[in-house]
Structure formats: C-alpha cells, structure tokens
A and B are shown apart, each in its own frame.
Chain A
Amino acid sequence: MTVVADRDHATEPARAGLTPVQWHRVGWTAVLAAVAVGIALPWMISGYQLSQVAGAFYLALGVLSMNLVTGLNGQISLGQSAFVGIGAYSVAILVTDHGWSYPAAMVAGAVLSAGAGVVVALPALRLRGLYVALTTFGIGLVFPSLIQKFSDATGGTAGKTIFPLYVPPDFLGLTTTEWGYFVTLVVLLVCLLFVQLLKSSNAGRMIQAIRDADLVAEGFGVPLARIKVATFAASAAIAGLAGGVFAIQRQFVSPGDLGLDTSINFFVGMAIGGSVSVPGAVVGGLFLQFAPQLTRHLGIAPIYTPAIYGALLIVIIRFARGGAAGLVRSLIAPLTRR
C-alpha cells in the first residue's frame, strides 16, 4: 500500500539539525515516556477510566494483528474477530471448566488461534490475489454460529462468565481492574516490540517485499507461501492474545462482540493509525475506544457511528493512505526540510 523507502538510516541526511541517530534517540525517548505514563496511569485516573484505556489497549492489539497481516504483508484478513474469539473462548473454557491458570490458557488460546488461522487460510495463502479476503470473510461470518452450535461448552448466545476471577498477587496490592490493565499493558508492549523488531528484520523486509511486488520477491528467492503462512499465523496469534486480554478484562465472553463487524473495526483502526505504523496501532485502538463516545457527545445517534467509520475508511484510502502516522510524517516533513 505504501512504498517502502530506504530504511538505512546511515545514508539519510540530517533533518532539522538532528542527525538520524539523534532522531532515533528522540523516538526512543518518546516511546519510553509513553511507557512510563502507561505504568503510572492507574495512579493518575479513576478505575472506570482505567478500564476504558485497558479496552483501548485490547483494541490496539487487534489493530496490531491487522497491521502485521494487511499493512505489512498486504493480505486482507476479515477473520481477526474469529481469532480474537478463539483466544477469548480458550481462556473462558480452560479457566472455568478445566482449572487452567490464566497465563497458560492465554498462551493456549494464541496457539489455537494461529493453528486455526493456518488451517483455514492455508489453501488461500498459496494462491495469489483475493482468496484470503474471501476465506477470512467466511471465518468471520461462521464463527458466531460455531459458538452457538457448541453452546454446551461456550454458553451459546447468552455468553459465558469466567470463574474464578483473575486476582493479582497479594503483595502487589492492586485492584482487579488495575491488574487487568497491567496484564493488557504487558501483552501489548511485548506484541508491539515483536512487530517492530520483526518489521526491521530480514524476515520483515521479505514480508513487505511480498506486499509490494510478490513476483519480484519470488524471483529474489523469497519463499512466498512460507512467509505468508508464517505472517498470517503470527497475526492470528496476536489476535488470540487480544482475545485473552479481552476475556480477562470482561471476565465474560459472548459471540455478540466477536462478529464480522469487529474485524472491520480493526480495519478502521488500522487505517486511522497508519497501516504500516506500529505505534499507529495504539492510536487506532484509542480511536476505536473513544470515537463512539465523542460522536455521542456531538449528538450523533450511535447507529450512525459505523457510517462515520466507513466514510473515514473511504476518505483515508482516497486522501491519506498513511493514516495518523503518515499525517505526522507529512506535518514534520516541511519543518525538517533544509
């Protein structure tokens, strides 16, 4: 979707009086400051507000999974909601009915999501073109009916309450809301770091080369199918972890939150934040969490929120492919021009 510029910082000239290495430091300082704010947040805002931010971080994980598979690899996945669902229901079922610990159930959920993703998308991933969009559209649509079919284990349409509660260790002295927030924060930071490191690694360049010119990439010896399947599996695993933190935050899962529209919302979040930007995923998550409240304050009926999302998606693709990250970049560009 975007042209990958030369990422080799050493060859870039100084911008706005700062060398690339110094820009790099500015970037990392900003990241560390953001992390510090993230850690201090429970002591800065109310419990309700904290649960809202935790919700935004869950959405950011979903958006990040979309960034990886669509933004970087150029595959359209509409099945992220189903992978989130597999992660969430794994935690719900393994913890409630089988006595697993929460972390173990979350990891199991991520593995199951990745496995399901590979099984369903493998035939499409071998092919070029739109087939991934097609099969994942199917997964997203079918998932809620699977939950209803196996209602003995899943609780069906009514949903399933997770028991026992995920309580923090005593010595930390945290409330369950704060604990849920910190678990989400840690999972989010680990996944952000993973995608950021992957993006700038050798494998990451192959992933993006497939998006930009698959035939050329293949000519240069990039194993197309293997990279596509691995990327898809990693994305599904991140979505599965998102489902795990979702289950921990709510202590309740139901198919109503896991339909095709959830996948499309992640898509909107990705477009808002910038499809190839890792910090953009957090921007996208915050947008998805707080935009509905904003439109309600503006007096727009909630039923029109998806219409606004849809219009935004169309406008962003038309005028601002880079999303928020791209806007920031193009705002900085004139300042840094010598």
Chain B
Amino acid sequence: MELFSQRLVDGLSSGCIYAALALAIVLVFRATGTLNLAQGEMAMFSCFFIWKLTDLGWPLVLAIVAGVVVAFVAGAAIERVIIRPVEDSHDHLPVIIVTLGLLLALDSLAGGLFTVDIETLGSPFPSGAWHLGTVRVPYSSIGLFAVIAALSGLIWFVFQKTRFGLAMRASVDNPESARLLGIRRSRILMVGWGAAAALGALAAALVAPQTYVYTGMLQGVLLYAFTAATLGGFDSPAGAVLGGLLVGVLQAMVSGYVHFIGNDLSLMTALVVIIVVLMLKPTGLFGRPDSRRL
C-alpha cells in the first residue's frame, strides 16, 4: 500500500508536467485548430534560454520568469511571422508541416547556439519532503501541484469569465461570425500561441531538474502531453489537466507493476492509450464531437 501511494504521488507529480504541456497543446488547438508538433521543441529552446540566464548568474526564479515572458513574445512572433501566412481554416496540412520545419530548426539551433551537452538546472522549490506516514511527498511535487492548480484556475478564469476568453471561444466556434462582430481573430491567434509557448517554457523549467537540459529533453514528455490531450479532449483545458494527471498516474502504475514494460517501454504505454482512446471515444473525455457545415 505504501508503494502504491508512493507511486500515486510520483505519478501525479509527473502528471502535472504533462498537464502543463497538454494545456499548451490545447491552447494552440483552440486558437488555430491544429497540432503544434514543435511545442516540445519550443519549450526545450526556452529551457535552454533559462539555463543560459542562470549560467550568466541570474537567480533561478528570475530566470524562469524572464524565460516565460520571452517565450510568450517569441511564441506570438512565431505565430505572426511563420504560421499566419500559411494559416487556412479549411486545410490544416500546411500549418502542421510548418511546425515540423520549426521542430527541425529549433532542435538544431538549440544545439548550435547553446550546447549539445547535457546541462543541469536546479529546482525552484526547496529540496526535502513532507512525510505522510511512510509516503514521501517531495516539496517539489507540492510546488508543482500548486503551480498547475493556479495555472488551471487562471486559464479557466480567462476562458470563462473575461471578454477576451469569450472572444476566443467565439472565434474558435464560428470564425466568420466572430469576425463580423468585430473580434480580431488575428490577435487571438497570437495570444493563443504566446500563452502556449509561455506554458511550455514553464513546464520545461519545472521538469528540467529531473530530465536535465538537452535537446531531446522533452521528446517523451511531449508524447505524454499529446496522450493527455487526446484523453482529455483536444479542445478542453479541463480535460488536458485531468488527462495529464491520469496519464502520469497510469505511467507510474504500469511501469511499476508490469515488469515487462518497466521503464523501457513506458513510451509504448502512451501510444497504446492514444490508440485505445481513438478507438473507444475519439473526442476524449471532455472534447466535443467534430462537426462541419457543408
């Protein structure tokens, strides 16, 4: 039972990271209607930027804040300069291919501009743990829960309670009518991509103490995040958070209890979950069915 509880805690804490990146994926999906395959690489690049700042002597928390802000601006700029010209609400292929180009470019630039070595980044949370009976709950996990809870609350608030969120939802539901009502879709797209990039940067900085900082640091995490978004439903922020936590717990349990899978095949678990969800409930837990007007 202790082992089970311990795995639950560990799973939830990695689930928080998946949830954050899944939120970023959902934000882009809601804004642009496509997957950003470079989401992980954008976050990795931001993480290198944060690492560079700490390397230059900045305090960690300040570096993370700066990295998140810069990621927001860069994400919005990428949307405006690279994505917008090929954006087409009827054909998503061009955007996906462009994000693939972005993935290649960022991966190679991160190696070239920063380093191809594996670097370390400290945790912004105090080390040590809170002992709950025999279960060890690291302070870093508690910090992660708090950050994800706050972020989810913030995003929920923005989506449901502000004019901007209303405009964003309207613009996704019905782009033409929304534009006729004076909603500036272009600005919404930029903010969506910026917010996603900022979320990604934060997720990368928070996961970096475990994964270390290198160009491939988020490849696996991105697949878990896609799994989380599939499970929760691609257009549902709440689904992304819940999906992230579920995927984290599932991964911890499967890796812990199924010896054949262990840590080697835990990526495979993610792929299987995606396939099963697509077979049984393609919209995910909270997604809305895809319908189109002819």
Contacts and interface: CB of A to CB of B under 8 A. Distances in A.
A318 B294 CA distance: 27
Contacts, number: 131
A133 B96 contact: yes
Contact of A135 (B111, B271, B292): B271
A145 B265 contact: yes
A271 interface: yes
A31 interface: no
Contact of A138 (B85, B101, B108, B223): B223
Query: Contact size class for A?
Result: 35 or more
B270 interface: yes
A314 B265 contact: no
Interface in A91-109: none
A142 B268 contact: yes
B35 interface: yes
Nearest to A127: B282
Given A306-B104, A311-B105, A317 B94 contact: yes
Interface string B265-294: 101101100110011001000000010101
Contacts of B91: 1
A230 B267 CA distance: 27
B108 A304 contact: yes
Interface in B226-284: 226, 230, 264-265, 267-268, 270-271, 274-275, 278-279, 282
B146 interface: no
B273 to A, nearest CB: 10
A267 interface: yes
Contacts of A317: 86, 94, 97-98, 101
A128 B109 CA distance: 34
A314 B37 CA distance: 14
Dominant secondary structure of chain A at its interface with chain B = helix
Contacts of B96: 76, 130, 133
Given A141-B267, A318-B86, A129 B92 contact: yes
25 contacts: A70-B93, A74-B93, A76-B93, A76-B96, A78-B100, A123-B275, A123-B282, A130-B35, A130-B96, A139-B271, A141-B223, A142-B267, A142-B268, A145-B268, A215-B294, A261-B104, A261-B107, A264-B103, A264-B104, A267-B100, A305-B108, A307-B109, A310-B106, A313-B101, A314-B105
A86 to B, nearest CB: 15
B85 A301 contact: no
Contact of B279 (A123, A141, A312): A123
Interface in B103-131: 103-109, 111-112, 116
A318 B97 CA distance: 11
Interface string B63-96: 0000000000000000000100110000111101
